[in-house]
Amino acid sequence: MLQRIQSLFLLVVTVVSGGLSSVFTLWKATYDADFYAYETLLNDSLYIKPIGFMFILSAILSFITIFLFKNRKLQFVMNRLNILLNFLLLGFIVYNVLNLSGETLVSEKGIGTFLPILSVFLLVFANRYIKKDEDLVKSVDRLR
């Protein structure tokens, strides 16, 4: 049942984490270099490298979760795991943004720093509709 609303939310999370993270900047450093999620994979810093992996992992996890529509409980748990992953990703991004050199003079935060927050909201909405489907199935089973 891929036509459900939670599948649409999960598809949007896949696009946000996989596609938009490489379009919008995460931050701009002191030497006018924009940092994107895919550029963090190529960086040598151990503090920046997990950001790109987490964006990719979040996109893959939400794409896989779309096809778990027959097992709603597992789909619900995978979404919660993805929410935790996005909070961890947000923590890494905030840590790196707060530790930029030349903070008040030349560094800028990009709109890409808000993408994990958008993903969390979409995953919460998807979980709400998964829960509604599960409750509907349970109520129908009681009537039999």
Assign residue 111 the CATH number of its domain.
1.20.140
Average pLDDT over residues 40-55: 71
pTM of the model: 0.85
* CA–CA distances in Å: residue 63 to residues 6, 56, 97, 137: 12, 11, 28, 24
Identify the domain containing residue 26 by its residue range.
5-143
Average pLDDT over residues 84-92: 92
Q: What does the pLDDT read at residue 11?
A: 93
- The total number of structural domains that make up the chain: 1
Q: What does the pLDDT read at residue 83?
A: 96
70/63 Cα distance (integer angstroms): 15
